[in-house]
Amino acid sequence: MVVICPKCKVRLKIHDEKISPDGSRFCCPKCDTVLLVKRPSARRKEINKRLIMVAHSDDSFIERALNILKGEGFEVITSKDGIDAMVKSMKELPFLIIID
């Protein structure tokens, strides 16, 4: 695994067997920054092509979009603010996001 130090940008090659399941700490040889390195997750979540997110501050717009999209057979998640939309989109991985 190749890890890049966030401070000095040096590339470090770390063997996978040296990384514990909970992560391991390594010291950058150039700048002495301590890095917590974790193994990448083995399973990646697929994008759901039937899932659409509607992110809008207007409740009536959300309701109209929800009715139209559900009527067409889509799964719909909604959000009223940007931070909530960002968190939900990273967790749920919708195919399309409609935002204002």
DSSP string, 54-72: EE-S-HHHHHHHHHHHHHT
Mean pLDDT of 73-85: 94
Q: Residue type at 10?
A: V
Pick the CATH number of 48-99 from 3.90.1150.170, 3.40.50.2300, 3.20.20.150, 3.40.1010.20: 3.40.50.2300
Cα angle 65, 68, 88 (rounded to 5 degrees) comes to 45
Compute the distance between CA of residue 21 and CA of residue 92 in angstroms, rounded to an integer.
25
Whether the Cβ atoms of residue 7 and residue 29 lie closer than 8 Å to each other: no
23 or 76, which is more confident: 76
**Percent of the chain topping pLDDT 70:** 96
Digit-coded pLDDT (tens) for 6-42:
889 999 888 888 888 888 888 899 999 998 888 777 6
Beta strand pairing call for 2-4 and 11-13: antiparallel
Give the DSSP letter of residue 22.
T
Please tell me whether the overall predicted TM-score, pTM, comes out greater than 0.85 for this model. no
**What would the mean pLDDT of 60-67 be, rounded to a whole number?**
96
The pLDDT value recorded for residue 1 is 82
By residue count, the chain amounts to 100
- Mean pLDDT throughout 84-96? 92
Domain boundaries, the chain: 2-37, 48-99
Would you state the pLDDT for residue 39?
79
